[in-house]
Structure 1
Amino acid sequence: FLGWSVDTDGLLGKKSGKNRGTEFDLSLYSSKLGVDIFYRRTGNDYKIHKVTGFSDRVPSNYSEDFNGLKVNMKGFNLYYIFNNRHFSYPAAFSQSTNQRRNAGTLTAGLSVSTHNLKIDYAKLPEIIQETMNPGMKVRHIKYTNISLNFGYAYNWVFARNCLACLSLSPAVAYKTSRIEKDTEEPSDWYKNFNIDFILRAGVVYNNSKYFVGTSFLGRTYDYYRDNFSLNNGFGTLQIYAGFNFYLKKEHRKKK
């Protein structure tokens, strides 16, 4: 699978090129191995929903637009299927095979990604800026995430040609990051271990010729220190329909 997506607002001309979000994905699946290669860049149309530890004048229902944050990330997820003779990821996520019986499997994987977050704290609301100390004036956060994950996946054939898949893989991640503060402040380096999660889910109807379904891939990238924490998560929901137009002879139905 090869995919490229952009913000709909960008297609309608409501955002300039610098403000648009974009995503590039390449997924390759086989019975034993799979790999997801990705690049994501967000726009800068964020909203601040909750503020704690600052001014007492911040109301409980606080909501403020914020266009001072840009995020991009790139990397790959590689995984191995142990029960590859009975369990098929491609049946749920690439529609290249059919699975006729329920089956589950243990999975193992490797993930490597880099994350860049650029923050213009001068665009924060004044009610926040007036109580910020120098250590909060962060301009750039760059961190690398390397993780090993082990999990379980299950394919449920709940009707003829219908399949549902659910997979959850906790990951032990090593993270190294550089935090650039205001020009007068030195950069900080952090290194530690955290727990991340990878979730895959899908439902598909596939009769070998036509297919329709939906799938979800979610990944969390969490970072915790005594004086700094970051929760960064991405989710991709797909709804699709298509047909196989060049079937091998042995896969064609006899008349």
Structure 2
Amino acid sequence: MSLRPQSVLPPVPEDTTRVAQTAFRRGNPYLLLRDHLGPIFADTAFADLYPARGQPAYAPWRLALVTLMQFREGLSDRQAAEAVRARIDWKYLLALDLIDPGFDHSLLCEFRGRLLQHAASERLLTRILDTARDQGLLKARGRQRAEHEALAAARKQHESEQGRRLYGQRQGIEGTISQGVRSFGLRRARYRGLAKTAFQGMATAAALNLDRLAAWFEHRPLASAHTSRFSALAA
């Protein structure tokens, strides 16, 4: 398959916009992502993955988005391809007509294969992170400490203001891991082999960040921190 990148990506068709906005009057994460961020990906970002000649390929910017939505919702390739055909919110984010037949589910496996073959899996995560930075939702972090202090000094540091800030960063990291395990199936590998397993981790991280962008636009409140049973008894 060959790629002929589109210089201008298509807007959401009028019929799709009308039906989606009528169906989701209270809002929808995918509608918000499309309205605030546009298509997110572009064909030119994947141009080097395709040969110059051959049958025209399905738009890779759409396959990239479907891959992230697939990992966000824990769908198989067949289920994701069916969602493209059947779900209005997916058609809205992908700028597809209501009668668009979608694509065969095997294209998702082929797209993952191209990303793995060219060591390009990180492009999905990098683009989502760049989008978050452009929206001012991601701040650069300073260099972390290279060495740990002795145990006694660390305990004293933990009680200080700086220690509480560092522990707050740890809470964020633990929360991210917990969300990945609980909501995105990060504990189990979908595939066999280190390269494919690494791709799953990269795609899951990108899908997680995509979900957090949607939560930001929805003004979804942050989940409260978990309180252990022992702490509850002491309260």
The reply to whether TM is greater than 0.5 is no
TM-score (norm: length of structure 2): 0.23
The one of the two structures with greater contact order (alpha-carbon pairs below 8 A, sep at least 6) is 2
The structure with the greater share of residues assigned to strand is 1
In our comparison, the structure showing a higher alpha carbon Rg is 1
TM-score (norm: length of structure 1): 0.22
The structure with the greater share of residues assigned to helix is 2
